[in-house]
Amino acid sequence: MLRNKHILIGITGGIAAYKICTLIRDFKKSGADVKVICSPNALNFVTKLTLQNLSQNEVYEGEFTPRNWKPEHISLADWADIMLIAPATANTIGKIAQGIADNLLTSVACAFSKKMIIAPAMNVNMWQNESVQNNIKILEARGVDFLPPERGFLACGYSGKGRLCSLAKIYNAVNEALNYSDILKGKKVVITAGGTIEEIDPVRYISNYSSGKMGFALAKSAYYMGAEVVLITTKAFEAPFKIVKVKSALDMQEAVNSEFDTSDYVIMAAAVADYRVKERSEQKMKKENNDKLTLKLVKNPDILAELCKHKRAPHPDPLPKGARENDCVIVGFCAESENLLENAKAKIEKKGCDYLVANDISRKDIGFGVDENEVTILDKNGNTTKLEKASKVRIARKIWERIIN
């Protein structure tokens, strides 16, 4: 799957540098051409000869030798299809975030305009440092993908989050990024994500366990495929596409409606609360002398069903400026704890959407709050496609493939 792909790997000065030797070998086995750049301290942890033999290419350090009439950092940036930095130290992450180009690796990163993936590894306290996290947010907003470190025993003697994530996770992330097409170029995609929040008073609210991860993965996949993406979400995400932050179901409905008429695809992946409090208290409700509390709830609008009705309704002539005859593809999500297919078939018929993605939330290894999922896609003609358990990034890509094809 990686045949003839050009992978540029940046290795920084961390103990996990030795692990990248295995990763280089795996990339080469898959047919990729691999080149390695080392930061000044990286070669304290792994030898240049080892990296040269595994990559079957020269290993680049600090020389700025002109190649093909281009400075070295430009020629390497132009050559690569993707840049992976692993392990990435706090120091290198900070330099790239702030545009500091004081060695070959950071110079290439500064000049790199294609897909970049960073896999950090460091002491747990360094990882939790506010400055490090802020630098990561800066880079995520520019479209850089981060593969967070994992928990475990660290070389420094500490135990916690800081060790390099698994090589399989890094390999899969690179593979996914390199095999996207621009099939959604020129299309506008609107995606909702996260659980809505329905306030009871200034302190309390009704919500659900949705993390927004599936919706965010769908948005990133669409962005990689060239789409103009609008993510309407209740969660805080950093991304290189438009994000509209909302809170309640009514907020979300208003945001979706404002984008709908100019959209080619709408995916309602958010977990919208079915009910809201009829009368929100302006002051915190006191519990003194109240052994019971009764809340009067009213139904929230069914955003998905309303969108489907709007799509089928006749449009005015002439259409509003920027709008078009609505051939938008509408995709719904449903979360079920029992009778998954039966409930999903009833829902797609009732809602009237083009596709419905069904999640089984009775399992703890998929669905809410985790990084993997397993879903069944139903279409309006009664066909079903089951996607076996995989990362939400992979599931998102397969959902798009099913919808587009």
Q: Which of 21, 38, 110, 156 is catalytic?
A: 156
Report the C-alpha gap between 127 and 301 in whole angstroms.
Answer: 42
Torsion of CA 237, 7, 80, 50, to 10 degrees: 130
C-alpha closest to that of 85 among 58, 57, 104, 66 = 104
Q: Which residues contact 182 (CB under 8 A, 6 or more apart)?
A: 225, 226
Query: Which pairing describes strands 205-206 and 198-199: parallel, antiparallel, or unpaired?
Result: antiparallel
**Amino acid letter, residue 288:** E
Residue 156 annotated as catalytic: yes
Residue 243, beta-bridge partner list:
231
C-alpha closest to that of 112 among 136, 86, 81 = 81
Report the C-alpha gap between 285 and 371 in whole angstroms.
Answer: 37
The angle, 0 to 180 degrees and rounded to 10, between the axes of the packed helices 303-312 and 249-260 is 20
Beta strand spans in 77-170 (E): 82-88, 115-120, 145-146, 150-153, 159-163
C-alpha closest to that of 57 among 66, 48, 65 = 48
Report the C-alpha gap between 165 and 134 in whole angstroms.
Answer: 20
Residue 387, beta-bridge partner list:
375
C-alpha closest to that of 260 among 330, 315, 316 = 330
The answer to whether the CB of 287 falls within 8 A of the CB of 212 is no
Report the C-alpha gap between 22 and 20 in whole angstroms.
Answer: 5
Active site residues: 156
